[in-house]
Amino acid sequence: MFHEFLHRSWPWYVTGPLVGLVAVSLLLIGNKPFGISSNLQHLCAAFLPRRADFFKYDWKRAGLWNLVFLLVGGGFIGGALLSNTDPAAISGAAVSSLARLGIHDFSGLVPREVFNWHVVLSVRGLLLVVGGGFLTGFGTAYGGGCTSGHGISGLADLQLPSLIAVLAFFTGGALASHFLLPLLIVR
């Protein structure tokens, strides 16, 4: 039965509470706020020239725990450990909506039509991957958090700035998915 649990994807009422427990466990271990995007700032402070004040701090003291949590644990062990999942069980409406954009391969974690090197090296593919990545990194630093820091930690602490940020995340995300994504998928 445990085997079954590990090899099927989980329903929302398992996933959500477990995400919540991860956030609670970080507070219990060492009073650390659950927030992923600080790691982008720590990576800049650790590896890039530190001319801006934003990067002048002791990144080992502030962020080593988070880099270990995300990069080593979450990314390279957790992500690699159980990566061969079934196709995501998205709704029929989502399938037909994405099919209209030219997505037909629904196996795997990302669509092969978009995330392959051939497409990434085209203009539209490059705009999607580099543009999308850049705006994500810029916006999360500007907004002071991402879907984890504002969406889970900030909202869990009932902070108004996080509510504003989360509403802006979903507004921007819906606009991009409806109006920009169709322009960037090579058909």
Partner 1 sequence: MTTAAPITTAAGRARERQLPAYLLAGIAFGIVLTKGELVSWFRIQEALRFKGLYLYEVFASALAVTIPAFALLKRRAVRSLSGEPIAIPPKVLGRGYRYVIGGLIFGLGWGILGACPGPIFALIGAGVGPMVVAGLAAVAGTWVYGHLRPSLPH
Q: Restricting to residues 152-181, name those near partner 1 by CB under 8 A.
A: 152-162, 164-178, 180-181
For position 182 contacting partner 1 by CB under 8 A, the verdict is: no
For position 102 contacting partner 1 by CB under 8 A, the verdict is: no
Number of chain residues interacting with partner 1 (CB under 8 A): 130
Task: Kindly state the smallest distance separating residue 35's Cβ from partner 1, in Å.
Answer: 9
For position 53 contacting partner 1 by CB under 8 A, the verdict is: yes
For position 59 contacting partner 1 by CB under 8 A, the verdict is: no
Task: Kindly state the smallest distance separating residue 56's Cβ from partner 1, in Å.
Answer: 10
For position 79 contacting partner 1 by CB under 8 A, the verdict is: yes
Which ranges constitute the DSSP H helices of the chain?
2-7, 12-30, 38-47, 59-67, 79-81, 92-99, 117-120, 123-126, 132-143, 155-156, 160-175, 181-184
For position 97 contacting partner 1 by CB under 8 A, the verdict is: yes
What is the C-alpha to C-alpha distance for residues 42 and 141, in angstroms, rounded to an integer? 11
Amino acid at 181: L
| Cβ proximity of 30 and 19 under 8 Å | no
Among residue numbers 3 through 22, which ones bind partner 1 (CB under 8 A)? 6, 8-10, 12-22
- What is the Rg, in whole angstroms, of the alpha carbon atoms belonging to the chain? 18
